[in-house]
Amino acid sequence: MNNINENATIRVGRPHFADSDISEINSRLSRVLRSGWLTSGEVVADFEQKFCRVIGTKYAIALNSGTAALHTILSSLGLNREDEVVVPANTFSSTVNAVIYVGAKPVLADCEVDTFNVSAETIERAIGPRTKAVMVTHVAGNPCDMDPITKLCRENNLVLIEDSAHAHGSKYRGRSCGSLGFGSAFSFYPTKVMTSGEGGMITTNSEELHEHSCLFRNVGRARLGHGPIVALGYNYRMSEIHAVIGLSQLKHLREFVEKRNELSQIYREKLRELAWLEPQVIHDHSYSSWYAYIVKLSKSVGISTESVMDSLKREGIETTVMFRPIHMQPYYADKFRGVSCPNAELIGDRAFALPLHVQMTSEDITSIVRILRRIA
């Protein structure tokens, strides 16, 4: 079920470029095009350097998607088909696909019913003798409770990887998401908190992962051009053109996240009167990017998620289901036969995302809540 509507009055998400940004991007793109060097050059390097300073890691490696970033991190671990990686049941398919790409076995961990994130407790139930790594997803930019997860991984000698596709600017106890594990993958898909059109980034403090990633994204070559191929790799490079857009967006990341937090606070205040809607819980020690504003229907309400989303669609309000549990996706049904993750299943059935992007106003939210008030 997906209520994406190209004719919506209020979109669920959209990128933002001010007129001054568009002029700057056009000017820089002209210089890139005239240079004759369109991939992995000075602009990409500049984007990497500025991004890792924002996140607070030693390295950042730009790639052509968040999926490529996840694959690259997993590929550095030397896993085989006997190895297992714990992944959230409540996540996007790329998180699980990356494990399958490297020939390992994904094992699903359920999520918490209020934060929608995995926890140390749900991860621990999924750990077995063949577990080599744990991947966490900061759902909608809401940081997972990382200290207990880090402690659990340390005690079991497991590699901890962050899927930070939603978490640009998110912080856990004052530390940036993307700096809390062995490696982290960001996505710059058009609807993300910041975008490069298409693209991804790895952040890490590991020199080994940095070196591996530079090879892996460049089809196994240590440098661009016709140098020797010294490892198995993929064509995962980011173009200079995408880096130009990413640099423009990165300048505004703080203000984007602040605006999203302002809008989420307005939602929170206006939705208090609607007891049948339960917003995603953010812990006091966390600062979310609010990539999306996800609400869950309470068990007591006698309406379906689909009917609520359809009612909003008829009023020009676009919504979407963030995730269906991995084991309930058709492709994965046989791979996870018999698996039960009741919280993820509940969220997949009863949760959806309301519009949230920096071009919205408080009046937009008032209109949305007015419609919701009429539904139940």
- Give tens-digit pLDDT for 125-169: 999 999 999 999 999 999 999 999 999 999 999 999 999 999 999
Model confidence over 82-100: pLDDT tens digits?
999 999 999 999 999 999 9
What confidence score (pLDDT) does residue 225 get?
72
Q: Pick from 240, 201, 190: which is nearest to 60 by CA?
A: 201
Alpha-carbon radius of gyration of the chain:
21
Average pLDDT over residues 203-227: 92
Which residues lie below 8 Å from residue 324, measured CB to CB, with a gap of 6+?
348
How many alpha carbons fall within 13 Å on the CB side of residue 221?
Answer: 12
Band of the pLDDT at 189, cuts 50, 70, 90?
A: very high
| pLDDT given at position 274 | 95
pLDDT digits (tens, 9 = 90+) for 312-323: 999 999 999 999
Per-residue pLDDT reduced to its tens digit, 257-277: 999 999 999 999 999 999 999
Place of tokens 């940081």: 143
Residue 291: name the closest of 165, 149, 171 by CA.
165
Sketch out the chain's domains with CATH numbers: 2-14+253-375 (3.90.1150.10), 19-250 (3.40.640.10)
Longest dimension (CA), the chain: 65
Residues 6+ away with beta carbon under 8 Å from 118: 88, 90, 109, 110, 111, 112, 136, 137, 144, 149
Provide the pLDDT confidence category of residue 299 given band limits of 50, 70 and 90: confident
pLDDT digits 0-9 by tens, 43-62: 999 999 999 999 999 999 99
pLDDT for residue 7:
60
Q: What is the pLDDT of residues 221-261, one digit of tens each?
A: 987 777 889 999 999 999 999 999 999 999 999 999 999 99
Task: Check residue 19 and give its pLDDT.
Answer: 96
- pLDDT at residue number 67: 98
Give yes or no for residue 40 having a pLDDT over 70. Answer: yes
Confidence (pLDDT) at 302: 86
Q: Which pLDDT belongs to residue 310?
A: 97
Q: How many CB atoms lie within 10 A of CB 124?
A: 16
Residue 178 pairs with which residues in a beta bridge?
A: none
| End-to-end Cα, the chain, rounded Å | 21
- In the 8-state DSSP scheme, what is residue 284? T
Q: State both tokens at 290.
A: 């609010």
Pairing of strands 293-297, 351-354: antiparallel
- Count the neighbouring beta carbons within 10 Å of the beta carbon of residue 34: 8
Q: Across all residues in the chain, what is the average pLDDT?
A: 95
Confidence of residue 3 (pLDDT cuts 50, 70, 90): low
pLDDT for the residue 1:
44
